[in-house]
Amino acid sequence: MSTPECLEKRGFSLVEMLVTILVGAVLMGIVSTNAPRLKTMADKFLNQALYEEQYLVFLLKLEDEYQQSATSNPEGAERIGQLIFEQDENLDGDLNDSGERIAYRWNEKEQRIDRKSGSGNYQALLEGITAFSWAQTGDAPVCHQLEIRNVFSPKPRTVVYCMDDLD
């Protein structure tokens, strides 16, 4: 008589179990020693993604305020220490109302660009900036070039803004 098939199957041997546990322990050791480095890499990636989002918001705000400003060459445009855009939003003939004077400044110490509307306080708009320049590049049409360097890349990012024709 032959033995039924279910009785012929055996479990793992002690040696197989020990090899499996040893391989698992080695893998856990590798992962645990690299965990701090992996966390640092993940944090850097997250910070870079947040910077990219802030950068796009900054560019959109700056372009909108540049296009709406009444001044073709905003006061202090050659030095970002105080870049000011003015627009008479309520058409009352003055620029004294809240929100009609928008100022940007590069806070070199904090490595960020701050923005202020009206007589309010400066608020951080874009962080991680290591260099910033703003210069007029053309007269007809009036254009300005923005150049930014950030902590994530040594290469500068350049954007050119040109005034829409008001005619």
Helical H runs in 12-122? 14-68
Q: Is residue 7 part of a domain?
A: no
Q: Is residue 5 part of a domain?
A: no
Domain span including residue 151: 14-162
pLDDT digits (tens, 9 = 90+) for 86-145: 776 666 766 666 667 788 888 889 999 998 887 788 899 999 999 888 888 877 788 888
- Gap between the Cα atoms of 157 and 167, Å rounded: 31
- Gap between the Cα atoms of 56 and 92, Å rounded: 32
- 82, 105 Cβ separation under 8 angstroms: yes
Backbone angles phi, psi at 22, to 5 degrees: -65, -45
Q: Number of structural domains, the chain?
A: 1
111 sits in the region (left: phi over 0; alpha: psi -120 to 50; else beta) called left
Q: Is residue 2 part of a domain?
A: no
Task: Output the pLDDT for position 87.
Answer: 73
Pairing outcome for strands 101-107 and 153-162: unpaired
Q: Is residue 33 part of a domain?
A: yes
Task: Output the pLDDT for position 162.
Answer: 86
- 132, 106 Cβ separation under 8 angstroms: yes
78 sits in the region (left: phi over 0; alpha: psi -120 to 50; else beta) called alpha
Q: Is residue 75 part of a domain?
A: yes
- Gap between the Cα atoms of 17 and 134, Å rounded: 67
Is 0.75 topped by the overall pTM?
A: no
- Gap between the Cα atoms of 165 and 141, Å rounded: 8
Please give the single-letter amino acid code of residue 141.
Answer: P
Q: Is residue 158 part of a domain?
A: yes
CA angle 121, 74, 70 (to 5 degrees): 95
Task: Output the pLDDT for position 8.
Answer: 61
- Gap between the Cα atoms of 41 and 37, Å rounded: 6
- Gap between the Cα atoms of 98 and 131, Å rounded: 30
Has residue 24 got a pLDDT over 50?
Answer: yes
